[in-house]
Structures are given as structure tokens and as C-alpha cells.
Amino acid sequence: MRSEPSIAVIGATGAVGSAVAAQLAGKGRTVVAVSRDANRAATVAAPLRSAVGVAGVFSDPASLGAIEPGVAINCTGIEDLDAIRR
């Protein structure tokens, strides 16, 4: 059986991002909760099944380098297409 890819929720500590992360984790998906603040990311991920919190900045692709999700969901509110493509 093939495992499903993880899903990075960028902006996971905001109102929308935390709800998205909780819904995905509740459905058994592996979630990477990404926030600028590592402590806040860990706090969001802690009660979720199969979730981990990590620090990263959407506008700085290098900070997201260690994250290799199959899917990324942008919940930051940033609509900069150049940043998304990076």
C-alpha cells in the first residue's frame, strides 16, 4: 500500500490555517503546520494526530527547504504569485 504524501499548511497558526490543519489531521492526513514562529507551530500541531509544527516563512523559500510535502496549502493571505512559484 502506498502512503499518501504529507500536506504542508503554510500559515497554520492563523484562524483559517489552524482550521484547515485540524480538518486534514482529523481525516488521518499527515500535516506539517508551518508558521513563522516555531513555538506557535508546535502548539497548533500538538493536539493533532499525525502533525508536526515547523518554522518557515512563505516569502523566504530557503526557510522552507527542509519541508518536502506532496501538497502545500497557502493560508497566509499572501497572494504574491512570484513567492508562490518559488
Q: What is the identity of the amino acid at 74?
A: N
Which of 49, 7, 55 lies closest to 31 in space, CA to CA? 7
* pLDDT digits 0-9 by tens, 3-13: 678 899 999 99
Query: For residue 73, what is its C-alpha cell?
Result: 496549502
Using CA atoms, how far residue 74 sits from 2, 3, 22, 80, 82, in Å, is 25, 23, 15, 11, 13
pLDDT confidence of 51, banded at 50, 70, 90?
A: very high
| pTM summary value | 0.83
Mean pLDDT for the chain overall: 85
CATH among 3.40.50.300, 3.10.310.30, 3.30.450.270, 3.40.50.720 for 7-85: 3.40.50.720
Which residues touch 54 (CB under 8 Å, ≥6 apart)? 32, 33, 34, 35, 38, 41, 66, 67
Please state the domain extents for the chain.
Answer: 7-85
